[in-house]
Structure 1
Amino acid sequence: MTSAFKDDLLAGKTAFVAGGTSGINLGIAKRFAALGAKVAVVGRNPEKAANAAREIGGGALGLSADVREYGAIRGAMEQVAQAFGPLDIVVSGAAGNFLAPANGMSANAFRTVVDIDLNGTFNVFRGCYDLLRRPGASLIAITAGQAVNAIPLQIHACAAKAGINQVIRVLAMEWGPDVRVNGISPGPIANTEGMSRLAPDPATREAHYARIAMGRWGEVDEVAECAVFLSSPSASYISGTILDCDGGSQLGDASRRNLGTGLA
């Protein structure tokens, strides 16, 4: 896609992307590197982390740590700071999800998603604070529409994402003016594991497109551009904001526009 940002926008910056070994977060890490940043990605699987670093190129680091374990994620951040210097950009994007009714979900399953998404975001942000370049650091959490829209079979994700939104807002207040804290709420994004599970066949995908105001799924690069913007000088007065990158999907069911304009 055509980008509005100059090629050296992030030159000299250090970016740490938790959950950056696949999907949207890997796309964000690649975009940061393409714009000149020194990038480190962290995931639970050492092999995936190493492969992601090679895919990103430019001397990127791929480290293994579980965001649910504060000591592990803190240790990874210290390695990055030692290798690249103070952290300028930190993205918390590790997530877990599945479809399940509340009555059919174990307490452990609920806790697991909250632990990865919500507790993981706290661990990443709390762990990085004294390693940040201050003032000027930018923190970004990847949240989702479930934070504000109740969705059946998603009680765990709805609870976790709502918590993330409040973490963003509270930290923006506590850590300003030295650190900006924002979130990105992606809608359905093509070529991601989540959407391949939710809409595995063409008929399901076409039906889903019709419900979205823009009539299509988003692209990973479109979310990555949002992350670049929030990390750039253009967003220097933006903090505590959740940026929706969802094609208008949170507005409601756009397929109703096909019913015509007549009033009942």
Structure 2
Amino acid sequence: MFTTDTLEDQTILITGGGSGLGLSMAQKFASLGANIAICGRTEEKLKTATEQIDDQGSGQVRYYVADVRDHDRVGEMVHSIIGDFGDMAGLVNNAAGNFLAASEDLTPGGFKSVVDIVLHGSFNCTHAFGNYLIDNDKKGNVLNIVTTYAESSGSAFVLPSACGKAGVLAMTRSLAYEWATYGIRLNAVAPGPFPTEGAWSRLLPEEEMEEKFLSKIPAKRYGNHEELANLAAFLMSDMAEYITGECVTIDGGESLAAGQFNFIDQLAPREQLKAFFARMKSESGKNGD
């Protein structure tokens, strides 16, 4: 249903667009005619991603080094994007963080780090972009990438992510109503398991865990990045002009069994699990993550 001009003349910012699902969405949008801005904290990763995105379409592609947790820097970035491209019509809040931990062992810093990226970062970008649209009497779209456990069940062992993503979903629906008067649409996508190098190494580092995870999915497979990118492109396009405040789940039926990471409790006694989480944290620190 898409053509090479489906997103023509739209400039879309994808946060965390240097890798994973963010990069896949950026490439898809570019192939449909959009101008692409991506942001992240690692310039080398952004440079490489920009080249990959540029190969997909004829529009402009630029990257911006920015930490979405920094409200002032986000405002500067949005101002720069508008100056560089002449306009900005769409935002995908994709930047996120997550790790496994027994909740009683969480530190305030660990909890804050994830919530700051997921919730505060999404607010910062949405706030800056929304004010630009409102001040200039322009319509626009915001797409927030949440998770299947944001809406109802929550999930054990990923408490900061569950709290942050639930907040983003509440923001999506709150602003969809409040900003509809300005012609601004806000929607969310709740992906189930879509393999990415970063998430898989932190959340499913062992074969036994991955096998158990896969067994919970009625479709008996993981999602393909193209499938999520297609959904995101539709929601960002004019074909979805009357859709706002919606959260679309794409997970092969996995969320029908609540609590995405609850299965971990079945793998070993709790003390063994906590020792395993500690080893993962130690290994992550050695790798500089």
Give the alignment's TM-score, normalised by structure 1. 0.90
For the residue of structure 1 that corresponds to 2:234, the secondary structure is helix
Question: Who is 1:6 aligned against?
Answer: 3
Q: Give the aligned CA root-mean-square deviation in angstroms.
A: 1.6
| Equivalent of 2:193 in 175, 188, 195 | 188
1:252 pairs with one of 248, 257, 263: 257
Counterparts of 1:101 and 1:206, CA distance in 2? 21
Cα pair 1:42 1:49 within 8 Å, conserved: yes
The residue identity in structure 2 corresponding to 1:95 is A
3-state SS, counterpart of residue 149 of structure 2: helix
Q: Which residue of 2 aligns with 1:167?
A: 171
Structure 2 residue identity aligned to 1:17? I
Equivalence for 2:271: none
Q: In the alignment, residue 98 of structure 2 is paired with which amino acid?
A: N
> By how many angstroms is 1:135 displaced?
4.5
Match of 2:282 in 1: none
Q: Show the counterpart of 2:161.
A: 157
* CA shift in 2, pair 1:114/1:77, >3 Å: same
Specify which of 25, 43, 51 is matched with residue 46 of structure 1: 43
From the superposition, tell whether residues 134 and 229 of structure 1 become closer, same or farther in structure 2 (CA, over 3 Å). Answer: farther
Residue 31 of structure 1 corresponds to 28
Partner of 2:78: 77
| Matches of 2:213 and 2:101, distance apart in 1 | 20
In structure 1, the residue matched to 2:117 is 116
Structure 2 CA distance, aligned partners of 1:136 and 1:157? 30
Deviation at 1:134, TM superposition (A): 4.9
Residue 145 of structure 1 aligns to a residue whose secondary structure is: coil
Q: Give the equivalent residue in structure 1 for 2:18.
A: 21
Matched-pair contact (CA < 8 Å) for 2:149–2:255? no
**Percent of residue pairs bearing the same amino acid type:** 34
Residue in structure 2 matched with residue 260 of structure 1 by the alignment: none
* Unaligned residue ranges in structure 1 (runs of 5+): 254-264
Distance 2:98 2:236 in 1: 27
Amino acid at match of 1:81: I
Aligned pairs for 1:122-141 (under 5 A) are 122-132=123-133, 134-141=137-144
C-alpha displacement of 1:17: 0.8
- Map of 1:239 onto structure 2: 244
Contact residue 90 and residue 142 of structure 2 kept, 8 A: yes
Q: After superposition, what is the alpha-carbon deviation per residue over 1:224-252, rounded to whole angstroms, capped at 9, x for unaligned?
A: 11110101122111101111111111001
Determine whether 1:88 maps to 2:81.
no
**Aligned partners of 1:52, 1:131: CA distance in 2, in Å?**
27
Which of the numbers 138, 141, 145 marks the counterpart of 1:142? 145
For 1:249 and 1:195, the matched residues in 2 are separated by 17
Question: What is the CA-CA distance between 1:56 and the residue it aligns to?
Answer: 0.7
User: Which stretch of structure 1 is more off in the superposition, 204-213 or 102-111?
Assistant: 204-213
Q: Deviations over 1:1-58 (max 9, x none)?
A: xxx3112111111111111111111111111111110000000112212221111115
Report the Cα offset of residue 201 of structure 1.
4.8
Distance of 1:183 and 1:109 partners within structure 2: 25
Q: Deviations over 1:48-104 (max 9, x none)?
A: 122211111153101100000011111111111111122111111110110011111
**Which shows bigger deviation, 175-184 or 55-64?**
55-64
Cα distance in 2 between the residues matched to 1:119 and 1:17: 16
Find out whether 1:67 has 2:71 as its counterpart.
no
Which ranges of structure 2 fall in alignment gaps of 5 or more residues? 259-289
Asked whether the equivalents of residues 21 and 196 of structure 2 are also in contact (C-alpha less than 8 Å), the reply is: no
